[in-house]
Chain A
Amino acid sequence: MRARSARRKEGKAEKVIPLRFIPDREAKVRGVDGTRCLLMNDAFYTFFERSMGEFSPFFLAIRDEKKILGCRCPRCGLVRVPPFVTHCPDCDYAPTELTEVGQVGRLISTPPITYFATSLFLDRAPFGRGRVVLEGADTALSVMLYTTTGILTPGILQKGTEVKVVFRDRRLGEIADIFCVPTAELTPGQIATPGLEESELPWARARAPKFDRPSRDEVRAYRECLREMRALARAMSRSRRARSAILGWKRNIAVRTKAGEFAMVIDDGDLRIVEKKLRAPDFIMACEDPRALLDGLAYRGAFTDAVILKKIWIDKNEEFNTIFKLDRLARFLAREKKERAARQT
């Protein structure tokens, strides 16, 4: 307790709401059809000292013993994980008993992968969330799913894929203390040992791709791409709808391609393509063929999908957020053109 109080005093304790989420108390006026509309920064918050009640043994077992508990109905024999009932609703509410289950299991279906997450999970995407039936259990536990090999792409995890529970190094006693990875990415020893921790995993490091020297044709194609991207960036900066996709957002992106390097500058509604090497970019995008970038800006293909399919490499996963904004920028420009044409007809 003393240590925690001391941390609080020093302002180092993790807050239930990180400060970066909290806006300043202010208001702004937005003109809509000649009227002045007031917008107020606000929040709707309540703090809790929340009872984990009958789930306390389950969460404490995760936190303190690195074990997974379920509940067994002595009458029908069903083992439910998590142990979400103390009395079986299928057997006239017969009392259930807690039991430990295994830490390896199989996915009951192909899991979704979240690329565009809520504001609370933007820096944890992409991640999978699926349902695993652990050895000894009958029902499925909902878990976060990762791969140790880089960005999670469709196909890595499917119905029937064997996965293992991994425990976060720092645990509070909540469901986010655990996640699963495919056993195919683990050693036999790691699979066999219960209580595997996150820091024991062989996480792949992000490595920038290396390119050969470009041919003359590739240099010519690069120049042409750059010209087209500049034209699109100018159109975007003039489009009210497109600007709204990057309002309030600033990023200096170093873009490295086989035939040359340039900067993509997002500046509060403006997009600029500048031929220069940035010394301290916010992040790096690398792609061998610049046409993947041009296709993204021209709304012929999505930046997001190009990153997922490894046509475009980024050095910071959390910048997926900026990647989404670039996709939105392209879509908004295309949509504005379309709507203008529709209104004229």
Chain B
Amino acid sequence: MARRVGIVGAAVTPFRAKWYEKTYYELAQMATREALRDAGISPREVDAVVYGIYNDIFQRACIPEHPLQGVLGLPNKPGVRVSNGGATGAYAMSVAHAYVAAERYDVVLVLGVEKATDCFDFTSMSSTPEVIKTIGWSGDSFFEQKIGWTASDSYAEVVLAYMDEHPGDLKPEVTARISSLLSRQARDNPYAQRQLDQVTPEEVMNSRYIVYPFKELEICVYSEGAAAVVLASEERARAMARNTGTPVVWITGVGEANEHSFAGRNQNRWGRIYSHHVAAQRAYRMADVTDPLKEIDVVELHDAFVQQLEISMAEMGFVPPGRADALVEDGIMMPGGELAVNPSGGLLYCGHAVGASNIMSAWSCRNEMIRKGYRRGLVHGTGSTIAQYGVVLLLERE
């Protein structure tokens, strides 16, 4: 039987459009310093580190994590880097969980960092086309990169395929209300890149198309920043909690799946994001969750796109497929509803500092559980082409 694993510390740096005054070394150390302070421990008490860094090119270095071992004060300790597209942070936490659960290490730091917007396109004199080009190197290099593959158009493929199957769902009025809601929730997150950017549903509907069917205010915003969580074995976690007075939030379920990336007969289940379904079912089984809507209080979901947020919620069993708009129309995720979804503002409004994003979500989920007394929370990550990767972690308070 595996050991219980708890989160005993967490922190994020502010997520910003660009950090002119800091490199990713400094961002990594900022988040680590605060997370260790939160856990009430020094770097000497950390047994191992898992780095979540998505893209070598963003950091402008292959194996960008190697300088961090010294920067974080963890010499001669094990360090492993996870790079799993958008789901990097969630997969990094999953790896750290496995290390502790398997009794390899007692205290493991998970550090996610990304310096994404140093990329700059000198022809348009702006950063974004170069950032999406850099992410574009993640598409299939023989068949997709050269025909304009982007993260947005690959997620749009999945969303449109879902809309072909369920033409009445994902209504623009509903996606606009979700974006507006997330913008208001970000108001309470002082680390959010768009903390003061509250938008109305009308503004969302009026915002320009980026990639059809996605409008500008339905898409996450690229960020720079870092996030860290400290995981510990039950015995160590309880000792740290006694010291800090902060309750342990346990990771009671972990599930992940990577789908087929090709489409057609016997390939990807087109029109679904099946990996999110499989990941959730695995996590639910591990944590003995049978009715997610009743048993889960708060969700921090990887909302790369609002439409994908809705589909992911359906795949994870909160609403039936084809009726994802019930999230809003039945008030499920609206203020006073059954479920808090992305109280951080999500990746849309807090920001998407890729390797750090899911760790930021875990930071927020834990905060909400401690502050508001929620019993169970869910952290979700997605990544790669056509939302191919899915990761779900279930958090629980005693």
Contact = CB atoms under 8 A, between A and B. Distances in A.
A204 B210 CA distance: 24
Contacts of B124: 119, 122, 249, 321, 325
Interface residues of B, number: 55
Contacts of A41: 122
Contacts of B157: 109, 111-112, 129-131
A139 B264 contact: yes
Interface in A101-143: 108-122, 124-125, 127, 129-131, 133, 137-143
A259 interface: no
Interface in B4-41: 20-21
A208 B210 CA distance: 25
How many chain A residues sit at the interface, stated as a range, is 35 or more
B148 A78 contact: no
A112 B157 CA distance: 6
Interface string B203-245: 1001111111100100000000000000000000000000000
Contacts of A144: 147-148
Interface string B117-136: 00001111110111011001
Interface string A139-159: 111111000000000100011
A33 interface: yes
A249 B125 contact: yes
A30 interface: yes
A159 B163 CA distance: 10
Interface string A293-331: 000000111111100100000000000010011010001
Contacts of B133: 118-120
Contacts of B196: 338-339, 342-343
B149 interface: yes
Contacts of A154: 212-213
Contact of A84 (B197, B206, B262): B262
Contact of B210 (A30, A44, A116, A122): A116
B46 to A, nearest CB: 31
B194 to A, nearest CB: 9
Contacts of A174: 146
B156 interface: yes
Contact of A33 (B21, B198, B210): B21
B263 interface: yes
Given A112-B160, A335-B197, A129 B57 contact: no
23 contacts: A82-B142, A109-B161, A111-B160, A113-B212, A115-B209, A118-B132, A118-B136, A121-B148, A129-B147, A131-B263, A138-B264, A139-B262, A139-B264, A140-B263, A140-B267, A143-B147, A175-B146, A247-B125, A299-B203, A302-B216, A304-B209, A327-B216, A335-B197
Given A32-B21, A111-B160, A302-B208, 5 more contacts: A82-B142, A118-B133, A142-B149, A175-B146, A249-B124
Question: What are the nearest 7 A-B pairs in CB distance?
Answer: A139-B264, A248-B125, A302-B208, A112-B156, A118-B133, A304-B208, A109-B161
Interface of B: 20-21, 57, 60, 121-126, 128-130, 132-133, 136, 140, 142-144, 146-150, 152-153, 156-157, 160-161, 163-164, 187, 196-198, 203, 206-213, 216, 262-267, 270-271
